[in-house]
Amino acid sequence: MLERVTALTLGVLLLAATLAVAVRDARPEYGARQARFRQLVEQRLGAEAAAAVPAGIQQIWLPGVGRADRCPTCHQAVVWRGFERETHPWRTHPPAILSSHPVERFGCTICHGGQGWAVATAAAHGHVPNWSEPLLGDALAASLAPGLRGRQLQQVACNGCHRYESRTAGAEVVNRGKQLLEEKGCRACHRVDGRGGLIGPDLTWEGDKYPGQFDYARLSGRPTVFGWHLAHFADPRALVPGSVMPNFHLSVGDAAALTVLATSWRTVAVDPSLLGATPRRPAPPAGPTRAAGDAEGPGGWFIRTGCAQCHDVTVFGVKSPTPIGPDLSTAAEDTERRFSVPIETFVRNPTGVMEAVFARQLMLSPAQKDEAVRELRAAWAAEQARAAAPR
Ligand code: HEC
Ligand code: HEC
Ligand code: HEC
Ligand code: HEC
Ligand code: HEC
């Protein structure tokens, strides 16, 4: 008897659940949104225009990326004129960006993230568990960094296709990141697009790293890759004790720009037809990459050996393109003052950045190290002579 009651109850529950799903599908969320849009069109453009508003699921099939974007099911006004002041999802899309990237070819998610095939708001915007590409909107941006806007975060997506341009109109955050990459001399230690040093990791595909590949033990706040980079740019050693990456004392905005740039360096699986004539290869360096100075004259050794990648040697007229280390004109004396060791000992057994330089980038033999000491002493002697000379 009891079993029959249980079976009956289960049966009824199952039926109720099935009915509930059927009812929900018959009145999907987008139905009301489409009705509202039709009403707006009728008010503004008349009954005939309203009758032409499509009903049901609207989708853009994108063979170039192998997916369908159903965002226009709710965002019906995207390519209509005259709805610029409506609230979302009934607002006209900013038109300029769509004239160079027509929605029928590019869809929506390629720039905005989100879950293309979903037709309920939370799911479509990717605010659901286990969806790794949530909408690159204001909500996500604010949760990653205070003050960050969706349209800034979105540039991660722009740079997937535009990475080899030195500047892209409309991607100002990424442009700033690219400028900092050159100005701060990141390539003295990092290889990016096949060019740069070996002291830090190759960053060419940094954006492909999984969240699990970062250590969040020292990160306060939510453990996100974005948050990790922000904190690391603010102070590398706070996250990676003993790191030789310098603290560049970046503003919050500049740290965010480099974070957007670094996370944009990911492989994008789009058909070449969606890359058009955007460059497929790294651009030639924007600034000088070699030190200026006489490679054969006094101080030429610093240029030939590679020290001048990071150091000026002003007394010999050697000018580094990215002087992230101190001027070597006074190093022979400085090491005594700063590290309390004579220059021989420092060169033989350096600490900090120079330990990494000698271990990974410029592997000098003992004889070459002796030469380094002689050159550093010569620079200091020349510097003293210069200072003593009458002006
Ligand atoms: C079921 C209806 C629906 C679908 C489908 C939908 N949206 Fe939305 N969208 C909305 C509504 C409602 C709003 C305004 C309220 C809000 O922000 O949640 C909105 C707002 C937005 C905004 C501006 C707000 C922000 O957070 O930046 C963007 C951008 C957006 N949607 C993009 C998309 C993309 C891309 C897709 C497809 C992956 C999509 N939407 C699919 C209903 C929808
Ligand atoms: C080529 C990239 C690109 C594509 C493709 C694209 N958008 Fe956008 N979208 C943008 C940019 C850039 C902005 C912000 C423009 C601005 O703020 O000046 C934007 C703005 C929006 C907004 C307003 C967001 C806000 O915060 O106010 C919505 C909603 C939106 N897009 C939805 C869509 C939908 C739906 C599609 C597909 C039918 C789509 N977009 C296709 C780049 C794109
Ligand atoms: C899927 C790849 C892809 C994405 C993502 C993308 N673009 Fe583009 N973009 C293109 C292509 C292709 C062109 C046309 C270039 C050509 O063929 O010369 C283009 C052209 C442009 C142009 C030049 C337009 C003109 O009129 O000359 C600008 C500016 C631009 N994109 C900015 C952006 C911004 C900003 C974003 C992010 C919101 C973005 N793009 C996202 C592929 C992309
Ligand atoms: C003096 C050498 C040096 C310079 C200059 C330098 N870095 Fe680093 N960087 C490192 C080293 C070493 C690491 C690995 C240890 C760590 O994570 O701090 C690193 C780590 C990183 C990481 C984390 C990579 C990962 O996945 O763990 C990023 C991103 C990064 N650097 C970007 C930059 C950028 C952008 C610049 C320029 C603004 C820069 N670095 C300048 C040495 C350097
Ligand atoms: C990848 C960049 C890089 C390269 C290449 C490099 N250095 Fe350095 N070097 C630095 C940085 C950064 C410092 C500052 C270290 C610190 O403060 O811990 C430094 C410090 C020094 C110092 C101590 C200077 C002082 O005033 O305290 C000496 C000496 C030195 N380097 C010599 C050399 C020599 C010689 C070479 C070439 C064989 C060389 N460096 C190549 C980045 C570099």
Please report the domains of the chain, with CATH numbers, ordered by start residue: 34-131 (no CATH), 140-274 (1.10.760), 300-388 (no CATH)
What pLDDT sits at residue 75? Answer: 98
pLDDT in tens, the chain (391 residues): 556 666 666 666 666 666 555 555 567 899 999 999 999 999 999 999 999 999 999 999 998 888 899 999 999 999 999 999 999 999 999 999 999 999 999 999 999 999 999 999 999 999 888 787 899 999 999 999 989 999 999 999 999 999 999 999 999 999 999 999 999 999 999 999 999 999 999 999 999 999 999 999 999 988 999 999 999 999 999 999 999 999 999 999 999 999 999 999 999 888 888 999 999 999 888 788 889 999 999 999 999 999 999 999 999 999 999 999 999 999 999 998 888 899 999 999 998 999 999 999 999 999 999 999 999 999 999 999 999 988 7
**Predicted TM-score (pTM) of this structure:** 0.92
Residue 241 — left, alpha, or beta (φ > 0 → left; ψ -120 to 50 → alpha)?
A: beta
How far is ligand 4, taken at its centre, from the CA of residue 208, in Å?
16
Pocket perturbation via mutation, ligand 5, pick of 189, 190, 310, 318 by most ligand atoms within 8 A of CB: 310
Nearest atom, ligand 1, residue 115 CA? 38
Q: Which residue has the tokens 């989708």?
A: 59
**Which uninterrupted H or E stretch holds 172?**
helix 172-183
Peptide bond into 89 cis (omega under 30): yes
- Could you identify the atom of ligand 1 that is nearest to the CA of residue 112? 35
Q: What are phi and psi of 61, to 5 degrees?
A: -85, 130
Helix (H, G, I), strand (E, B) or coil at 168: coil
Q: Give the position, in ligand 1's atom list, of the atom nearest the Cα of 140.
A: 26
Please report which residue ranges of 186-299 form alpha helices under DSSP H.
225-234, 236-239, 252-264
pLDDT at 13: 60
170 CB near ligand 3 (under 6 Å): yes
Among protein residues, the one whose CA lies closest to atom 13 of ligand 4:
200
Q: Whose CA is nearest to atom 38 of ligand 2?
A: 108
Return d(Cα 40, Cα 76) in angstroms, integer.
11
Ligand nearest to the CA of 174: 3
- Kindly give the number of the ligand 2 atom that is closest to the alpha carbon of 89: 29
Q: Alpha carbon of 202 to those of 221, 283, 285, 386, 387: distances in Å?
A: 27, 18, 17, 41, 42
Q: For residue 270, what pLDDT is reported?
A: 86
CA distance 247 to 317: 27
Q: Tell me if 160 CB under 6 Å of ligand 3.
A: yes
CA separation for the pair 233, 61 (Å, rounded): 40
| 215 phi/psi in degrees, rounded to 5 | -100, 115
Looking at all shown ligands, the one closest to residue 278's CA atom is 3
pLDDT of residue 272: 87
Closest-CA residue, ligand 3 atom 16, reads 277
Going 321 to 354 to 246 to 239, the CA torsion angle's sign is positive
Cβ(246) – ligand 4 distance below 6 Å:
yes
Q: Whose CA is nearest to atom 26 of ligand 1?
A: 137
Taking the CA of residue 246 as reference, the ligand 5 atom at the shortest distance is 12
Q: Does ligand 4 come within 6 angstroms of the Cβ of 310?
A: no
